[in-house]
């Protein structure tokens, strides 16, 4: 994930983050609260947590670091905990609470949106737990005859760390909201000025065209040339 995506993600997460709401609910209290109120509580609390992402002198320099540093930020950790709780609440509501057809449709849609995040979040937690167990085992393996077992444990630890970093990136990518035009095709027109610019303008237009074409190739996008009219210098 590139630096600009990190910055955009932080800006989006901090949107509407000026309201504070601290709520602690027990399972027996959950069913006593209206469904729409429960979801509102989770989202309001989430907004406050997201606001905290930038409330502690969070600098853009962190966007140059790896995903592990970003994941370890307590604001993002709390945000994912809230999303996980919201997912569990939705799951409980859909299975055990009678709701109208319209509400069920909305809940199913939100449940489907959160499901991939919940799965990745659980995988990260399980992988981090495995890392802790391996590190604890390695500390207890000090004898010379256990050296081979320690090497195997370290190799497995490295494999899990690589998996965790992939999960971090996948999770952060999944946090970026989907736009309705994400999968649409784009028609791009690049043309030089007809009355001004001269040779330099034509050369620059050609460079711009090549830039878009090369970027499309780099991103493995389909690039189809609909019409091309060459000029003297571009």
pLDDT average, residue stretch 70-85: 84
- Predicted confidence band at 55 (pLDDT cuts at 50, 70, 90)? very low
Q: Is the separation of the CB atoms in 74 and 46 below 8 Å? A: no
Pick the last residue of a domain from 141, 175, 209.
Answer: 175
Angle, in degrees to the nearest 10, between helices 35-51 and 74-96: 170
Tally the domains of the chain.
2
What is the reported pLDDT for 18? 38
Encoded tokens for 67: 């995903």
Quick one: 102 and 207 in the same domain? Answer: no
Quick one: 138 and 206 in the same domain? Answer: no
Please report whether residue 180 resides in a domain.
no
- Predicted confidence band at 211 (pLDDT cuts at 50, 70, 90)? very high
Q: Is the separation of the CB atoms in 165 and 67 below 8 Å? A: yes
What is the reported pLDDT for 21? 38
Reported pTM? 0.52
Encoded tokens for 22: 């601290």
Quick one: 95 and 159 in the same domain? Answer: yes
Q: Which of 18-27, 111-120, 124-133 has the lowest mean pLDDT?
A: 18-27
CB half-sphere exposure, 5, CA atoms < 13 A:
15
Angle, in degrees to the nearest 10, between helices 101-140 and 35-51: 50
Per residue in 132-156, pLDDT (tens digit) is: 888 888 777 766 657 778 788 888 8
Alpha-helical regions (H) of the chain? 3-13, 27-30, 35-51, 67-71, 74-96, 101-140, 147-175, 198-218
Quick one: 145 and 52 in the same domain? Answer: yes
- Predicted confidence band at 106 (pLDDT cuts at 50, 70, 90)? confident
Quick one: 160 and 223 in the same domain? Answer: no
Quick one: 233 and 198 in the same domain? Answer: yes
Quick one: 65 and 149 in the same domain? Answer: yes
Cα angle vertex 68, ends 63, 71, to 5°?
Answer: 80
Residue 19 has pLDDT above 50, yes or no: no
Average pLDDT, the chain: 73
Encoded tokens for 190: 């690049």
Distance CA 131, CA 38 (A): 35
What is the reported pLDDT for 127? 92
pLDDT average, residue stretch 197-224: 86
Q: Which domain holds residue 60?
A: 3-175
Quick one: 171 and 199 in the same domain? Answer: no
The residues, ordered by sequence, that sit 6+ positions from 222 with a Cβ below 8 Å of its Cβ are 216
SS3 state of residue 226: coil
């Amino acid at each position: 994930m590139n630096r600009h995506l990190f910055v955009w993600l932080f800006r989006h997460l901090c949107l509407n983050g000026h309201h504070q709401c601290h709520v602690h609910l027990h399972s027996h209290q959950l069913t006593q609260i209206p469904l729409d109120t429960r979801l509102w509580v989770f989202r309001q609390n989430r907004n406050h947590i997201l606001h905290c992402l930038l409330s502690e002198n969070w600098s853009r320099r962190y966007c140059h670091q790896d995903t592990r540093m970003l994941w370890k930020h307590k604001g993002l950790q709390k945000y994912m905990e809230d999303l996980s709780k919201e997912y569990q609440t939705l799951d409980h509501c859909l299975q055990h609470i009678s709701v109208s057809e319209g509400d069920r449709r909305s809940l199913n849609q939100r449940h489907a949106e959160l499901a991939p995040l919940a799965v990745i979040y659980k995988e990260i937690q399980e992988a981090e737990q495995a890392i802790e167990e391996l590190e604890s085992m390695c500390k207890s393996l000090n004898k010379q005859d256990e050296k081979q077992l320690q090497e195997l444990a370290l190799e497995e630890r490295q494999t899990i760390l690589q998996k965790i970093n992939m999960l971090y990136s996948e999770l952060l990518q999944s946090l970026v909201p989907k736009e309705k035009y994400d999968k649409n095709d784009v028609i791009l027109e690049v043309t030089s000025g007809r009355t001004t610019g001269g040779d330099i303008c034509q050369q620059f237009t050609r460079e711009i065209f090549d830039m878009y074409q090369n970027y499309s190739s780099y991103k493995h996008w389909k690039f189809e040339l609909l019409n091309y009219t060459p000029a003297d210098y571009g």
